[in-house]
Amino acid sequence: MEETAKKRMLSGIQPSGDLHLGNYLGAIKNWADRVNDYECYYFMADLHTITVRQEPAELRRRSLNQLAQYIACGLDPEKNVLFLQSQVPAHTQLAWVLNCYTMFGELSRMTQFKDKSAKYSNNINAGLFTYPVLMAADILLYQPDYVPVGEDQKQHVELCRDIAQRFNSIYGDVFTVPEPLIAKTGARIYGLTTPEGKMSKSVPDGCVFLMDSPDDIRRKFKRAVTDSDTENCVRYDKAAKPGVANLMNIYATITGKSIPEIEAEFAGQGYGVFKPAVGEAVVEALCPIREEAEHLMADKAYLDGVYRAGAEKAAYVANKTLRKVYKKVGFYQGL
């Protein structure tokens, strides 16, 4: 009997800053766990970074280091296609075509455009407005069945689905219409000092980076915000105790324990015991990743080789889709 083909999955993270615990628990750890069940494509979304001004040498450094950290987090390049977005020209080629099948009103309603326009008011460029179309191209090129995303990116996947369905309604079944895949645990990790917002490199004291030293990690967790509740009780209540709930979610994702098990483990012990325990669990999880990433970063030739091989595999799949799209819209391809 012929073996059933695996479903395909694709996702990416911008190398606009160093990877942090939110990236790992919310995305990369889940990616690594899915390698046996899906055909996986994961990329460094460097084209997306330049909607905000970047220092070129720093962007190149982060793009290489992020690959090392992907691999150190368990993304085996022999089992996953790992590549740099800008090294596969089909991304920008398809993006232009899809721009012509995306409505102005759809883009103007995107939440992240409104947020970033407010944050970068001195640089509201066209790329900031149209980057959801590039994101749609990133996805549709590979005809994935699923796109693992956080809740904050679900709107972009919905737009991608709308674009794909609009194109398919005109030209037939060209694109697979992907489903967003959101992990129930660890899907959104909040800042240690700002539990009302997701963990972000823009708030470094509340952000645990994958390359942080054990002492830095312990310090950040000891200073983590809990609540003003005088009961000092480790109890899950996201509305009343968002800081504690965030720490419990981190601990649950790291250890595999359930929320009731965590509540029982720390019953009567208070935050002074709980916060350092979460910090130690994170140290234990991240130390091997940091050490392996440092080893890989020292071997630029190896990382360059992974990028080349990944770009070749990605381009093979992407170009098949692009040729089909070009034929459908009427571009001559006789050369």
Do 288 and 261 contact (CB within 8 A), yes or no? no
User: Tokens 């009997």 label which residue?
Assistant: 1
**Which long-range contacts (C-beta less than 8 Å, at least 24 apart) are formed by 252-257?**
252/185, 252/186, 253/25, 253/29, 253/185, 253/186, 253/189, 254/25, 254/278, 254/281, 254/282, 254/285, 255/281
**Sequence-distant (≥ 6) Cβ neighbours of residue 226 within 8 angstroms:** 241, 243, 244, 247, 271, 275
Alpha-carbon torsion (121, 127, 133, 139), positive or negative: negative
Closest by alpha carbon to 124, among 137, 115, 134?
115
Q: How many residues does the chain have?
A: 335
Other CB atoms within 10 Å distance of the CB of residue 169: 8
**Which long-range contacts (C-beta less than 8 Å, at least 24 apart) are formed by 308-311?**
309/77, 310/43, 310/77, 310/81, 310/82, 310/83, 310/84, 311/83, 311/84, 311/87, 311/88
Do 191 and 245 contact (CB within 8 A), yes or no? no
Order of strands across the sheet that contains 7-13 = 81-84, 38-44, 7-13, 146-148, 179-181
Residues annotated as part of the active site: 116, 198, 201
3-state secondary structure of 146: strand
